[in-house]
């Protein structure tokens, strides 16, 4: 479902022309910065992305979205180290999400050590 409204075409699910244009501009910046073919994880995630709105909500919150995490602690030490750099005790869930988002966003400039 929504196969033709994913990734670069996700704006097709947006009725408001200003919001749709904002998504198009954002996609243009992401693809322009990372590249459309070899853009790494940022582009791979976008390729299968579906906008969450009234039209897609029931589908996205169905069996499409996994409810349980299938992650084994210790299996991604570099990822866990990067998360530990920005996640601090007492942070609220929103603060954690924003800190991780910023760390991922800035990863291109930091590279792997």
- pTM equals 0.58
Angle of the 93-105 helix axis to the 77-86 helix axis, nearest 10 = 120
Find the mean pLDDT for residues 33-54.
83
Are 48 and 37 in contact by the 8 Å Cβ rule? The answer is no
Task: Return the ∠ at Cα 41 (arms to 20 and 13), rounded to 5°.
Answer: 20
Residues 6+ apart with CB under 8 A from 60: 50, 52
Quickly tell me which residue has 């996640």 as its tokens.
87
Q: Residue 108: what pLDDT?
A: 57
Model confidence at 46: pLDDT above 80: yes
- Given pLDDT bands bounded at 50, 70 and 90, which one contains residue 43? confident
């Amino acid at each position: 479902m929504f196969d033709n409204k994913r990734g670069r075409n996700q704006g097709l699910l947006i009725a408001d022309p200003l919001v749709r244009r904002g998504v198009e501009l954002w996609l243009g910046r992401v693809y322009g910065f990372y590249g459309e073919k070899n853009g790494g994880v940022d582009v791979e995630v976008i390729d299968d992305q579906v906008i969450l709105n009234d039209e897609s909500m029931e589908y996205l919150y169905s069996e499409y979205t996994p409810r349980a995490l299938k992650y084994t602690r210790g299996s991604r030490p570099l990822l866990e180290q990067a998360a530990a750099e920005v996640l601090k005790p007492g942070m609220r869930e929103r603060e954690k999400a924003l800190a991780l988002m910023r760390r991922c966003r800035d990863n291109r400039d930091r590279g792997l050590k």
